[in-house]
A and B are shown apart, each in its own frame.
Chain A
Amino acid sequence: MNTDKHGFKTILLRHETILLLVVLLEWFYFNSVGPRFGSVDNTFDIMRHSVEIGLLALVMTPIILTGGIDLSVGSLLGLCAISFGKFWRDAGMPIPLAAVCTIGIGALAGGLNATLITWLRLPPLIVTLGTFSLFRGLAEAITRGADTFTNFPASFLFLGQERWLGIPAQAPIFILVAIGIWLLVHRTTFGRSFRAIGFAPEGTRYAGISVERRLAMAYVLAGIIAAVAAIIYTSRLGQAKADAGMGYELFAITAVVLGGTSIFGGIGTVHGTLLGVAAIAVLNNGLVHARQPREVAGMLTGLLLILALTSSIIPKMLASLKARRQTSATKPIIT
């Protein structure tokens, strides 16, 4: 049991149960429509395709918990994929070293976001919008828009395309990161601080917690994991191009918000995010099996995000409306 959410337990429990039901419903529906949908192969396929977005959603969770946002993760994935290819092919690095250097690039990029947000106290929205453009632009500039990195060794492609111990090879990495982020958010003082910052940044400062350092940590972590996602992405597709991960930030944010994390910060869980990722991944894959075009999935994701946002706000609005009506009803008429 997670004691970190006491007080909101009922609400969250409800939200996550509903989401789980939605995922299961999706599953059964698509299973009845597409005959191959429920097979083991396809299940692994869903997993493979959702790992990168899942990783981004996982690191987006702490950021949104602090009341911030990171629009640059998709672009950063692209930049890191290119950097990885560059390190391996043009700098002649062995794959492991190239991977480490790529993660270093990710950390640096996350550090840039973190510095601008904490040092100058600029809104995360506009900072990451700027780096969104900058990172993608750098990726395009490095590859001159056309350069593609391919012909990676089979030992590397194993990570993204083969099975290891019967499961997709990238799944263990995802599971490790998921456990790590879950522990960070739900079992460490850092997670506690993220929430506190989301609820009341000034109040957190008054409790002697270094708000800037915690925020910086969340954004740097996002950079590092975006780099990991880039490596897995490259391995899965067997190529690195400048447009890698385009639009992924939207899917990540959608998964987080769908998973019950409040866009205003403070409230949310990592397992909710995982369910959100699952809901989107099953929908995407299922629609293909139901012979629907891919665009429908994208459109539905957008609609789902709007729906998740409004559903989080409507109970609050109803409550305030009710409260207003009550006060006006009990108000004495002074004569």
Chain B
Amino acid sequence: MRALKGVSFDLQAGEVHALLGENGAGKSTLIKVITGAHQPDGGTISINGETVAQLTPASAHKLGIACIYQQPALFPDLTVAENIGLRLEPASALRKVNWATRQTRAEELLKRIGAEISPDAEVRSLSMPEQQLVEIACALGAGARIVIMDEPTASLTQKEQHLLFAVVKDLRASGVGVIYISHRLEEIFQLADRVTVLRDGESVGTRAIRSGTGVSLVQSADVSPDVPISRTLGEDRRDACPTNELSESELIKLMVGREVSAIYPPSESEAGNVVLALKNLGCAAGGVKNISLDVRAGEIVGMAGLVGAGRTELARVLFGITPADLGEILLNGQRITISTPKEAVAHGIAYVPEDRRRHGVILEMPIAHNMTMAVHERVFPGTWLRFGAEKQIAQDFIRDLGVKAYGPDAPGGSLSGGNQQKVSLARWLATKPKLLILDEPTQGVDVGAKSEIHKIIRRLAKEGLAVLMISSDLPEVLGMSDRIAVMRGGTITAMLPAKTDAHEVMAAALGQAEKGATK
């Protein structure tokens, strides 16, 4: 699978260029190419009109490219001043550290971005947005000419947002080019000069919001005539003539793109009794609040929302990883408490986690062992391993789910993403759950395996399983769900029926006027 196909993107000095797209549309890959973390297999990158032969993180740094990630790469045990100092000072070992200079520089940089952070504070004690501001201060101090911001406002308060906007505008005024990734449309309209929308690894259009001027700073994979066309995969769909008037709904349409096609298997199941009922569920540590939701037997409830909306956090609450501290969980009408994953499993709740490689499958272990991990008590009564029974279970699942592996002994890491996902799914189906929570079930899975997994989910629902499916793949949510819950800011903001169009879901997820909400 290609993460990026013939994308053209350019950034001018003194411009804020927003990058928009659903999760998995290729934004982060594009960023990694620009910061030198990934090497492109085709196309060109030119900076300040000069073509860069090979971009590495070090050379990108030298060329003045700075990226502010959502998870800052700072030293938690050291002070803010020192964090900035270590980034900006030369990395020679025998040099006197001038704490006064560090202090004043940190103060000055923090003041420039309007951050009320003491340079003496340990980074550990800062909140995530404050840490991001420190990162921005580092970028500023390094004299970056290209600053990439990856959803910088995801966890900022209103006040911090305004500060950040001022910083971005400041950067623009001083001739810095800013690549701004955000899901919040109002921000994009407030800040950006141009916006490029990515979908499925392709650029579907660049539109002007404000007319920008300046020299071109970055041109990546530029499809100019002197580049052989074979280097760019797919066609260039960059819209040549930007229009000044771009409406929000037009932007949403660009992001969503194609209509949901008939590739999803049709719903055949009848919704039965309520299996899971949540009443005002909340968990301060997990960052979810006020969740009320029903999931019925035989029903697939899709859960849409943006990254950081609290969907995975809700799943972790239901699975006992970060237990709930408010509200009620009712399973088949019985009030239950879940404080550890073990208890969740005992209650018949299964969770196929998002991070497959860290949580879903133990890569070093054979898939047979992976599949029986959650059912030790049942398959191995008296704790004695029964290899025959285990092998049988594994072979049944391999056949049943169509896992492509050389056998039950194949280590999980030797399988492709889609097949790993099936192993992870098998582990939880083996528990014969009442409620199956799927978190991004087809992320990083190729198209063939994806539709197979969809068929499996359908079949499970038909067999009477209650399914809660978290997905950032909008067509998947629309195509698979019997009902759609949309989360935003840690709570459910809309419950939409199956026949909803993508526009409505996206609008709810982005926090637009909740016109489609039927609470």
Interface residues of A (CB under 8 A from B): 3-4, 6-7, 186-193, 195-196, 199-200, 202-210, 266-267, 331-335
Chain A residues with CB under 8 Å of B361's CB are 203
B365 at the interface (CB under 8 A from A): yes
Task: From A7, A195, A202, A209, give the contact of B358 (CB < 8 A).
Answer: A202
**Would A199 and B365 count as touching, CB distance under 8 A?**
yes
B384–A187 CB distance below 8 A: yes
Residue interface mask B8-51, A partner, CB < 8 A = 1: 00000000000000000000000000000001111111000001
Contact A206–B384 (Cβ < 8 Å): no
A195-B412 Cα distance, complex, nearest whole Å: 14
The answer to whether A205 and B362 touch across the interface, beta carbons within 8 angstroms, is: no
Cβ of A333: which chain B residues have Cβ within 8 Å of it? 53-54
Min Cβ gap B64→A in Å is 20
Interface string of B298-318 (1 = CB under 8 A from A): 000000000000000000000
Interface residue? B344 (CB, 8 A): yes
Q: Are B373 and A7 in contact (CB under 8 A)?
A: no
Quick check: A189 and B359 within 8 Å, CB to CB? no
Determine whether the beta carbon of A205 is less than 8 Å from that of B44: no
| Contact B353–A206 (Cβ < 8 Å) | yes
10 contacts across the A-B interface (CB closer than 8 A)? A187-B384, A188-B384, A188-B385, A192-B369, A192-B385, A206-B341, A206-B353, A208-B345, A208-B374, A334-B39
Q: Is B427 an interface residue (CB 8 A)?
A: yes
Cβ contact within 8 Å between A6 and B366: yes
Contacts of A203 in B (CB 8 A): 358-362
Given contacts A4-B385, A202-B358, 16 further A-B pairs with CB under 8 A are: A7-B366, A187-B384, A192-B376, A200-B359, A200-B362, A203-B358, A205-B341, A206-B319, A207-B341, A208-B342, A208-B344, A209-B373, A333-B54, A334-B43, A334-B44, A334-B54
Do the beta carbons of B373 and A196 come within 8 Å of each other?
Answer: yes
A203–B353 CA distance with the chains assembled, in angstroms: 10
Q: What is the CB-to-nearest-CB distance from A332 to chain B, in angstroms, rounded to a whole number? A: 6
Q: Is the CB of B342 within 8 A of A209?
A: yes
B residues whose Cβ falls under 8 Å from a Cβ of A: 39-45, 51, 53-54, 319, 321, 340-342, 344-345, 351, 353, 358-366, 369, 373-374, 376-377, 380, 383-385, 387, 409-411, 414, 427, 431
Residues on the B chain within 8 Å of A332, using CB: 41-42
Q: Who on chain B is nearest to A198 by CB?
A: B364
Give the total number of A-B pairs whose CB atoms are below 8 A apart. Answer: 98
CA of A273 to CA of B415 in the docked complex: distance in angstroms?
Answer: 31
Residue in contact with A196 in the complex, picked from B40, B365, B410, CB distance below 8 Å: B365
Shortest distance in angstroms between B395's beta carbon and chain A's nearest beta carbon? Answer: 14
Compute how far the CA of A189 lies from the CA of B53 in the bound complex, rounded to whole angstroms. 54
Q: Are A335 and B44 in contact (CB under 8 A)?
A: yes
Assembly CA distance A335 to B52 (angstroms): 7
CB-defined contacts of A331 to chain B, threshold 8 Å: 39
Q: Are A199 and B364 in contact (CB under 8 A)?
A: yes
Q: Is the CB of A335 within 8 A of B53?
A: yes
The smallest beta-carbon distance between A8 and chain B, in angstroms, is 8
Whether the Cβ atoms of A210 and B387 lie closer than 8 Å is no
**B339 → chain A closest CB, angstroms:** 12
Tell whether, in the assembled complex, residue A202 and residue B373 are in contact, meaning their CB atoms are under 8 Å apart. Answer: no
A-B pairs with lowest CB-CB distance, top 8: A208-B345, A6-B409, A189-B376, A207-B373, A206-B359, A7-B411, A188-B383, A208-B341
Residues B410 and A7 in contact, CB atoms below 8 Å apart: yes
Q: How far apart are the CA atoms of A134 and B417 in the complex, in Å? A: 49
Instruction: Kindly list chain A residues whose C-beta atoms are within 8 Å of the C-beta of B319.
Output: 206
Residues from chain A with a CB closer than 8 A to the CB of B380 are 188-189
Please tell me if the beta carbons of A204 and B362 are within 8 angstroms of each other in the complex: yes
A206: B residues at CB distance < 8 A:
319, 321, 341, 351, 353, 359-360
CB-defined contacts of A187 to chain B, threshold 8 Å = 384-385
- Chain B residue with Cβ nearest A6: B409
A205 to B360, CA, bound (A): 10
B39: chain A residues at CB < 8 Å are 331, 334
Structural contact, B427 and A7, CB atoms closer than 8 A: no
Residues of chain B lying within 8 A (CB to CB) of residue A190: 383
- Report yes or no: B376 in contact with A335, Cβ–Cβ below 8 A: no
- Taken together as a complex, chains A and B put the C-alpha atoms of A332 and B231 apart, in Å, by 11
Given A189-B376, A335-B53, CB of A199 within 8 Å of CB of B345: no
In the complex with contacts A196-B373, A205-B321, A3-B362 CB distance below 8 A? no
Query: What B residues does A193 contact at CB under 8 A?
Result: 376
Chain B CB within 10 Å — which of A3, A204, A210 has the most? A3
A206-B353 Cα distance, complex, nearest whole Å: 8
For the complex, give the distance between the alpha carbons of A162 and B289 in Å: 70
Tell me the nearest residue of chain B to A183, going by C-beta.
B384
Contact assessment for B411 and A334 in the assembled complex, using a CB-CB cutoff below 8 Å = no
Determine whether the beta carbon of B358 is less than 8 Å from that of A334: no
Instruction: Answer whether A7 and B53 are a contact pair too, CB < 8 Å, given A196-B362, A196-B365.
Output: no
Report the minimum CB–CB distance from B454 to chain A (whole Å).
23
| Interfacial chain A residues near B364, Cβ < 8 Å | 7, 199, 266-267
For B51, list chain A residues within 8 Å (CB): 335
B residues less than 8 Å from A209 (CB atoms): 342, 373-374, 376
Q: How far is the CA of A7 from the CA of B367 in the complex (A)?
A: 10
- A195, B387: Cβ atoms under 8 Å? no
Q: Of residues B353, B361, B363, B373, which shows the largest number of chain A Cβ atoms within 10 Å of its Cβ?
A: B373
CB distance from B336 to the nearest CB of A (A): 15
Distance from A246 Cβ to chain B, minimum over Cβ atoms (Å): 36
Q: How far is the CB of A34 from chain B (nearest CB, A)?
A: 43
Q: How far in angstroms is the closest Cβ of chain A from B398? A: 15
By a CB distance below 8 angstroms, the chain A residues around B410 are: 7
Chain B residues with CB under 8 Å of A199's CB are: 362-365
In chain B, what residue has the closest Cβ to A187? B385
Cβ–Cβ < 8 Å partners of A205 in chain B: 321, 341
Distance from A165 Cβ to chain B, minimum over Cβ atoms (Å):
29
How distant is the Cα of A79 from the Cα of B466 in the complex, in angstroms? 56
Most buried by B among A207, A331, A335: A207
CB-CB under 8 A from B342, the residues of chain A are 208-210
Give complex CA distance A6, B364 in Å.
10
CB distance from B181 to the nearest CB of A (A): 24
Minimal beta-carbon separation of B443 from chain A (angstroms): 16
User: Are B340 and A210 in contact (CB-based, < 8 A)?
Assistant: yes
Contacts of A200 in B (CB 8 A): 358-359, 362-363
For the complex formed, measure the closest distance between the CB of B6 and the CB atoms of chain A, giving whole angstroms.
15
Cβ-defined partner of B374 (8 Å) among A186, A195, A207, A334? A207
* Complex interface: chain A residues within 8 A of B363 (CB): 199-200
> Residue of A at shortest CB range from B364?
A199
Supposing A207-B374, A335-B53 touch, asked if A202 and B345 sit within 8 A by C-beta, the answer is no
Least distance between A202 CB and chain B CB atoms (Å): 6
Q: How far is the CA of A7 from the CA of B43 in the complex (A)?
A: 40
Task: Compute how far the CA of A3 lies from the CA of B373 in the bound complex, rounded to whole angstroms.
Answer: 16
How far in angstroms is the closest Cβ of chain B from A183?
8
Residue of B nearest to A208 (CB): B345
Choose among A189, A196, A202 the residue with the greatest number of B CB atoms under 10 Å from its CB: A189
